[in-house]
Amino acid sequence: MMALNPIAFKIGTWPVHWYGVIIASAVVLAVTLSVREAKRRNLISDDIYDVILIGMPVALVTARLYYVIFEWSYYSQHPALIPAIWDGGIAIYGGLIGGLLVVLFVTRHKLINTWLYLDIIAPTVILAQGIGRWGNFMNQEAYGRIVSHAFLTNLHVPTFIVNQMFIGGHYRMPTYLWESLWDVTGFIIIMLLRHRPHLFKQGEVVLTYIIWYSFGRFWIEGMRTDSLYWGPLRVSQVLSLILFFGAIILWYIRRKRYPENSWYLDGHSLTQNI
């Protein structure tokens, strides 16, 4: 059974992988939607572009470093392969950490309200994550345990997905698909609710994103067979628990401390409530 070609096209002799095409497309869509929302919040498009221009390379590096750190037993013996991201091995949590650091730096430098900025980009980030998982589909990675062909067809999984999940002589659970569906569902819910100030106060859109994503990621990570481990623990599950409960606690603290806090229409408000 032939797997889909992970290479989309070539520029001369240089192969362009579907993974990169899909990620790039997700970023373009996310930026477009973020710029549209930023203008509604009295920010300019450059406030979004500046974070992307700095954040994308930083996030790529931190995503790779995150992966390498937790696979150090391998990379310590093969240091020349550390930069080889084209062979796989980047972690979304590492990328999110790098992206967050850039957002904090840029918003502080430009005197932009950080919470408002995070509320603007959070829905588009989870959408980009959902789209980006299809890069894993093309690379035949981020899959789960061995299952039968009948198991997948009984789930009404499309045939092209079933065929692509035939890996190493076995059909596999398409955990990338579950996460993609979870992320896109989260995006739709947040987009439907985020402009309702009686539901969300400032900062609570991004906290909703964290709660939603980390909850789903915890359970889906438990189905995967390629998890990063910290001793006997799956790293992403540990981090998901920390983020899930941390976001809930922070939501509660901010509601108690700033009961009058609401949306700021001025993106350059200097208020930086914790």
Which residues face 9 on adjacent strands? 16
User: CB–CB of 17/86 below 8 Å?
Assistant: yes
Which residues face 166 on adjacent strands? 171
Spatial CA neighbour of 226 closest among 96, 72, 67, 63: 67
Spatial CA neighbour of 44 closest among 126, 128, 106: 106
pTM, to two decimals: 0.90
How far apart, in whole angstroms, are the C-alpha atoms of residue 223 and residue 172?
11
User: CB–CB of 214/233 below 8 Å?
Assistant: no
- Token pair 């300019």: residue: 44
Residues making up the chain, counted from first to last? 274
Per-residue pLDDT tens, the chain, 274 aa: give them.
678 888 988 998 888 889 889 999 999 999 999 999 999 999 999 999 999 999 999 999 999 999 999 888 888 888 888 887 766 678 899 999 999 999 999 999 999 999 999 999 999 999 999 999 999 999 998 999 999 999 999 999 999 999 999 999 999 999 999 999 999 999 999 999 888 877 888 899 999 999 999 999 999 999 999 889 988 999 999 999 999 999 999 999 998 887 665 544 445 544 444 4
